[in-house]
């Protein structure tokens, strides 16, 4: 949280101090979402909102990456209990017909 002038000076100091450019580029100035915050409390809310947004975006990116890396390679799987072939894309978990007490 700093004025634009102070933020520029801090970034310049970091570069001159040998901080790698990719790390300097991750510094956010101005911090927080632009909700026209004026009071310290509003500024805090805008920063928290930005953190929440970033976490949601990161989770979305990770989810998309996982889906791309781990695709379903087969539509059929063999049921380990009965040996029946099961279509993975349409299968649903169902339990029924079991007696309430097994002796």
Q: What's the number of domains the chain is made of?
A: 2
15 shares its domain with 52: no
Q: Which long-range contacts (CB under 8 A, 24 or more apart) does 18-23 make?
A: none
**Domain assignment of residue 102, yes or no:** no
| Res 102: pLDDT | 40
What integer pLDDT is reported at residue 71 of this predicted model?
60
Instruction: Identify the CA nearest to 49 among candidates 62, 36, 65.
Output: 36
pLDDT band of residue 46 (cuts 50, 70, 90) is: very high
Task: Note whether 48 and 83 are same-domain residues.
Answer: yes
DSSP 7: H
Same domain, 67 and 22: no
CA distance 37 to 66: 37
Domain that holds residue 62: 38-91
Residues 46 and 24 reside in one and the same domain: no
Residue 72, pLDDT score: 58
pLDDT-derived band of residue 98, with 50, 70 and 90 as boundaries? Answer: low
Write down the pLDDT at residue 89.
Answer: 73
Q: Is the pTM of this model over 0.75?
A: no
């Amino acid at each position: 949280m700093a004025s634009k002038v102070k933020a520029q000076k801090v970034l310049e100091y970091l570069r001159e101090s040998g901080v790698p450019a990719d790390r300097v580029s991750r510094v956010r100035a101005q911090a927080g979402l632009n909700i026209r915050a004026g009071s310290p409390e509003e500024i805090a809310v805008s920063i928290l909102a930005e953190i929440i947004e970033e976490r949601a975006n990161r989770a979305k990116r990770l989810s998309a990456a996982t889906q791309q890396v781990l695709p379903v390679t087969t539509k059929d799987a063999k049921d380990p209990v009965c040996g029946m072939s099961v279509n993975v894309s349409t299968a649903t978990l169902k339990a029924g017909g079991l007696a309430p007490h097994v002796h």
